[in-house]
Structure 1
Amino acid sequence: MRGFPVGEGLTPAGVRRVFELRARVVELEVEAARSGR
């Protein structure tokens, strides 16, 4: 996953935000895969 500002990951808050966004995307992908089948 790209597209995050470079400075975003340099702070603990940025790291946490990116991690939460990734986890959310993974959940959406799993949910889409389940409903798709």
Structure 2
Amino acid sequence: MARVNDVARYILENVDSGVSTMKLQKLVYYAQAWSLV
């Protein structure tokens, strides 16, 4: 299973624009919620 650091690293490497800390936290939160569905 992927860890939160792996997901955050993947997001940072694959997003073209800069990502703020709050946006990164939201994206990781949504990814976790989606994995529970």
TM-score, with normalisation over the residues of structure 2?
0.50
Structure 1, unaligned runs of 5 or more:
1-5, 29-37
| % identical aligned pairs | 5
Pairwise mapping of residues 1-37 of structure 1 onto structure 2 (< 5 A)?
7=17, 10-28=19-37
Q: How many angstroms apart in 2 are the aligned matches of 1:17 and 1:23?
A: 10
SS of match in other structure, 1:10 = coil
Please tell me the root mean square deviation across aligned C-alpha atoms, in Å: 1.7
For structure 2, the residue ranges without an aligned partner over 5 or more in a row are 1-15
- The higher radius of gyration belongs to 1
Bigger proportion of residues as helix: 1
